[in-house]
Amino acid sequence: MSGELLVESFWQEGLEPHNKSLELISQVIGDVGATVDIGSEYRQYGSESISIRLTGESGTNYRISVQFKRRIASLMARRFAEMDFGATSQAGNFMHPFRKMMDFDIHWYDFRDGDWVSICIQDRHDAPVECWPGDNIATTIQLLNDDIRSAMLQEMSTLRHELMSSYPVSWAAGQSPPEVKFSDVAKTVFWLRTLNHASSIAEFTEIREGIGQGAE
């Protein structure tokens, strides 16, 4: 099913920024060729759920389990017309209690045992909310779709760690693009491990620049 299912399922009257986020997710889902299923293996009490499934550049199969709590969305919608987010720099702190309105978990499929492995690459839960929850989901879909390149970002340490396992496993299962060779996977995993062992941002940047220059 397409991203339109997500928009139809999680639409909230009177909460236009949230609805625009849903439309953004739907667009990204279409751009990367992801699919949407009703329900989730990790459904939370009091929430509606869907699963977004996609395959990254590495061939890794990802599942994003999205939980939508309509009760929270309805509460925000009651007085949303009075909320002027441009009037104060503290709006992100106001939004913090509502951040669980739409939450998500990420897993990759491990062909070694036929199970799903959790990946935690979400924002810190104690930080101010800088965007609507749906925007984070749209960004996450794009990151996972381009997982190898995303793993080269300094802040993506967890994705790097998981990709060191998921890339070889997915390649062995025949899920990676056919032009990808054993040597390509081995070299990428070497660089991912090297980046994860960097002791400072400066060292990480130096290593990353070396990768970009095709260092051996």
Domain ranges in the chain?
Answer: 4-212
Res 76: pLDDT:
87
Work out whether the CA dihedral 4, 7, 9, 13 comes out positive or negative: negative
Per-residue pLDDT tens listing for the chain (216 residues): 567 888 888 999 988 889 999 999 999 999 999 999 886 565 566 678 899 999 999 999 999 999 999 999 999 888 888 877 666 566 667 777 888 888 899 999 999 999 999 998 765 454 445 678 888 899 999 999 999 999 999 989 999 999 999 999 999 999 999 999 999 999 999 999 999 988 899 998 989 888 865 544
Cα–Cα distance, 80 to 82 (Å, whole number): 5
Label residue 199 exposed, middle or buried (CB < 10 Å: 0-12, 13-18, 19+).
Answer: exposed
* Exposure on the CB side of residue 143, measured as CA atoms within 13 A: 23
What is the spatial distance between Cα 133 and Cα 43, in angstroms, rounded to a whole number? 17
Q: What global pTM score does this model have? A: 0.86
Strand partners, 135: none
